[in-house]
Amino acid sequence: MSEFKYDLAVIGLGYVGLPLAIEAASNTLKVAGYDTNKSIVSNLNNSVSHVEDVSDKALGDALSKELSFTSDSNVLGDSEHIVISVPTPLTDYQPDLSYVEAASKSIGENLKKGQIVILESTTYPGTTIEIVQPILENISNLKAGEDFLLGYSPERIDPGNKEWTFKNTPKIVSGINKNSLEKISKFYKLIIDEVIEVSGTREAEMVKLIENTYRQVNIAMVNELAILSNMLDIDIWEVIEAAKTKPFGFQSFRPGPGVGGHCIPIDPKYLSFKTRQIGQPVRFVELAQEINNSMPNYVVSRVSELMNKKEILLKNSKILILGVAYKKDISDTRESPAIDIVQALLEKSADISFYDPFVEELSVNKTSIFKEENIKNFSNYDLILIHTPHSDFQNINFIEVTSLIFDSTGSFTIPDAERI
């Protein structure tokens, strides 16, 4: 493909970087996966995956082709394309780009003419040209758009989604100039079914934020309507099902215990950060965040209300949280509303356990939460709070469970159970 030893180097081997490396290697590209975590690198080289969507077998198959993993940053100077897929968390409610900056510095120290650098990490508009580009240019003494090419392509990974995978989900691509865009687009077309070009990196960065802000806002709306409907003694679930029959102008969203994961709770805050820099807060978006953040406490209030009706004290009561992952059929508990729910219940002196076939252990504020292993013990609890609608839970015969049941997801039809 070029004079470089590798076609692609991927920096950051998490839920975004590893699937990219696997897919590229599966399409006959020579790939180097780079991560500063030597333990992760060692495990990956031994066909042990830490990413749910990448099986050990898929990893092993890719390793048998043209894929290898390393913690040696020299590999970055030997690759035609370099993709940055490192975390961009929030620290003290502010975007933390330290991982992006560190990756950019490592690239800059090894950067050669003719290389193509692509940022995939979720961030606010302007990061590619305001943060990454100056670091690369200052360290390497090379000119972006001339000596090396640079662009942005937002990741669209949906963990646990078997229908829309890395390969068949349309890929947004951008470049800082025409040549960068053309080369980056050509690269992704080698491994992804459909590539969508946008005019600039700021537009591409905004795409990811608007996708998840859209979901945040609509989830908040239906959550607030669920609260209102409960106060008015209206079945919000019946209302939603009826509204869905309209063949145009309506998209269904479901109320729930809050929002979790690596995207919906985080991405709108990147947008808020950027807009506040220019003196224009996004009040509608921030209100949506406030509503969704309040849902765990609302769930706890509904649980307390239900138990009071049955003359059961919340203090010292035994409550089982059914599912603690942030979405169904995965083990990821990042930003899961279950954490806040458990914390609130612990503060009210309830005795909390959890049952989740995907999550091995749960700790909340250094308190280890007991994991229930036996479905037959469900009736030993005063209340079961359904938090995550794992597919396996459809096989549970809730009719035989004598405990009170509160379904915060609305995903199950259970006689006498309350739904959010």
Q: Hey, which residues are catalytic here?
A: 263
Q: Which one, of 285, 284, 280, 257, lies nearest residue 269 by Cα? A: 285
Largest CA distance in the chain: 75
d(CA 407, CA 396): 14
E strand intervals along 175-298: 195-197
193-196: which pairs have CB atoms within 8 A and are 24 or more residues apart? 193/167, 193/168, 194/168, 194/170, 195/170, 195/171, 196/170, 196/171, 196/172
d(CA 174, CA 273): 22
d(CA 139, CA 202): 23
Q: Are 417 and 393 in contact (CB under 8 A)?
A: no
Tell me, rounded to whole angstroms, the distance of Cα 159 from its chain centroid: 7
Q: For the stretch 262-291, what's the b/e string if a residue is b when 16 or more beta carbons lie within 10 angstroms of its beta carbon?
A: bbbbbbbbbbbebbeeeeeebeebbebbeb
- Assigned token pair, 244: 């869905």
Judging by beta carbons within 10 Å of its beta carbon (0-12, 13-18, 19+), is residue 310 exposed, middle or buried? exposed
- Assigned token pair, 7: 């076609």
